[in-house]
């Protein structure tokens, strides 16, 4: 840990930095998955979904930045290289070779939901070990991920959604 006058106990800051880095790795992976979908989607609603995936990827990238900056602000090191993301991301691999917009919507919504679930768990963990500010950051990210998931899932017709 780097020297800091942050008044949280170092043991709390260490736990927070580890939790933040875990989610930083996954956020970097999630951003890449959103770009994969953006670059490769095809279908009747191409332009709308292509642009949506680009906006989702930009939002996810902003979460990576917030996670990394919080880790640094606590005196830790943000571990945000591609190599670390590959090693530590908990997300399922994105299916390569798909083009159909419905398949991409399904894959993107699954990735967002998986990340969102882990972020909600991180809220409870950070609160439990005494870092309410990190919990608040995870709450903000959770709201944002749920918002993006809503946008993506809104491209599935209601009768199709019931079948999945």
- The residue-averaged pLDDT of 136-141 equals 98
Q: Please report whether residue 107 resides in a domain.
A: yes
The CA distance from 108 to 95, in Å, is 10
Q: Please report whether residue 29 resides in a domain.
A: yes
Residue corresponding to tokens 């880095």: 21
Render pLDDT for 13-23 as a digit per residue (tens, 0 to 9): 999 999 999 99
Q: Into how many domains does the chain fold?
A: 1
Residue 88: CB partners within 8 Å, gap ≥ 6?
21, 22, 25, 26, 79
User: pTM, whole model, 2 decimals?
Assistant: 0.93
Q: Please report whether residue 71 resides in a domain.
A: yes
pLDDT value at 157 more than 90? no
Which residue segment(s) compose the domain that 119 sits in?
10-163
Render pLDDT for 47-91 as a digit per residue (tens, 0 to 9): 999 999 999 999 999 999 999 999 999 999 999 999 999 999 999
């Amino acid at each position: 840990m780097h020297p800091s006058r942050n008044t949280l106990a170092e043991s709390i800051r260490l736990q927070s930095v580890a939790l933040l880095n875990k989610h930083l790795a996954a956020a970097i992976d999630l951003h890449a998955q959103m770009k994969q979908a953006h670059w490769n989607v095809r279908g009747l609603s191409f332009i709308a979904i292509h642009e949506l995936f680009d906006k989702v990827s930009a939002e996810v990238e902003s979460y990576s930045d917030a996670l990394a900056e919080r880790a640094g602000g606590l005196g830790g090191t943000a571990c945000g290289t591609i190599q670390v993301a590959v090693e530590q991301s908990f997300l399922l691999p994105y299916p390569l070779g798909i083009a159909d917009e419905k398949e991409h919507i399904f894959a993107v919504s699954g990735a967002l939901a998986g990340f969102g679930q882990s972020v909600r768990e991180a809220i409870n963990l950070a609160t439990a070990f005494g870092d309410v500010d990190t919990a608040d950051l995870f709450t903000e990210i959770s709201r944002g991920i749920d918002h993006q998931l809503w946008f993506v899932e809104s491209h599935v017709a209601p009768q199709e959604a019931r079948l999945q």
